[in-house]
Amino acid sequence: MKKTSVLLPGTFDPPTRGHYAVIEEASRRFDEVRVVIFVNPDKTCLFPLSDRLEFLRLATAGLPNVTVGSSEGLVADYVRENGLSFIVKGVRTERDYLYERGMADWNAEHGAKTFLFPAPAAVREISSTELRLRLERGLPFDEIAAPGTAEAVAAAYRRLCP
């Protein structure tokens, strides 16, 4: 029986409960989930790659079929080069859906099919942007950070923005 291995790509700056909900759902549905931070030179992130990788490792520690990594290439190329079955993306809003559908169409043209998972209602309003805003303003953010990451995120933020 062929193992179903999927890619869950993103920036994860930092990972939220919304990201975790999609990762956890994918881990229930597929044999192997690779959560990969794709480095986009045109995008400025608050947290360096090493911190974001650590946050994801902390969040996914209880999910044995999930691995964490990073890549600088194209998502479709990564899927093909690593023999993965699909791309998995979470969708929170209609705007997300339209963007991700366009990306899914492009990836399909390049040999990589995408599953779009609707975010659960409880996490639909959560975003990395909201989490970063709460950090900047000194507001509580634990309830929207990915499980197991709040302490590490706070420490990294204090280091970066003393």
Q: What pLDDT does residue 1 have?
A: 55
- Quick check: helix, strand or coil at residue 76? helix
Please state the pTM of the whole predicted model: 0.93
CATH of the domain at 98: 3.40.50.620
Contacts of 97 (CB under 8 A, 6+ apart): 91, 116
| CA dihedral of residues 34, 6, 103, 144 (deg, nearest 10) | -50
Return phi, psi of residue 105, to 5°.
-65, -45
Q: What pLDDT does residue 5 have?
A: 93
Q: What is the mean pLDDT of each run of 10 residues along the chain (162 residues)?
A: 86 96 95 95 92 98 97 92 92 90 92 90 90 96 96 96 84
> Domain span at residue 9?
5-160
Number of compact structural domains in the chain: 1
Please give the DSSP secondary-structure letter assigned to residue 70: E
Angle between helices 128-137 and 150-160 (to 10 degrees): 60
Nearest to 69 by CA among 41, 38, 31: 38
